[in-house]
Amino acid sequence: AQSVTQPDIHITVSEGASLELRCNYSYGATPYLFWYVQSPGQGLQLLLKYFSGDTLVQGIKGFEAEFKRSQSSFNLRKPSVHWSDAAEYFCAVGPTGGGNKLTFGTGTQLKVEL
């Protein structure tokens, strides 16, 4: 069965600092990989996704993520965090065989200090 681990429940960074949120997955093959963000009172919004090809993917709001097959990881990064990035971030995997059933991690709550 596939699973996703987000080891950091809470992270606090200063505005302007760099950010890296960790995500490790367990899956029989290379899955489809996603990062979603949920801001207070909002629905989950897709930041970026990896299906194949270039292992460094660019997303919205200046985020990027790198797929590392050898480490089964898909860490999310941003070079300079803005106060508006404070939110909860979810890593998710999906089967490559079809369907749209996502398996999510437990989420990482990001706090940004001004």
Partner 1 sequence: EAGVTQFPSHSVIEKGQTVTLRCDPISGHDNLYWYRRVMGKEIKFLLHFVKESKQDESGMPNNRFLAERTGGTYSTLKVQPAELEDSGVYFCASSRQGHLLEKLFFGSGTQLSVL
Q: Which residues bind partner 1 (CB under 8 A)?
A: 4, 32, 36, 41-46, 51, 90, 92, 94-95, 98-107
In the bound complex, what is the minimum distance in angstroms from residue 80's beta carbon to partner 1? Answer: 27
* Closer to partner 1 by Cβ: residue 63 or 94: 94
| 38 Rama sector, left if φ>0, alpha if ψ -120 to 50, beta otherwise | beta
Question: Contact 108/13 with Cβ under 8 angstroms?
Answer: no
Find all residues with CB under 8 Å of 97, minimum gap 6, and list them. Answer: none
* Closer to partner 1 by Cβ: residue 2 or 15: 2
Give the helix/strand (H/E) hosting 21. strand 19-21
In the bound complex, what is the minimum distance in angstroms from residue 43's beta carbon to partner 1? Answer: 4
* Closer to partner 1 by Cβ: residue 51 or 83: 51
* Closer to partner 1 by Cβ: residue 43 or 114: 43
Burial (Cβ within 10 Å: 0-12, 13-18, ≥19) of residue 50: buried
In the bound complex, what is the minimum distance in angstroms from residue 101's beta carbon to partner 1? Answer: 5
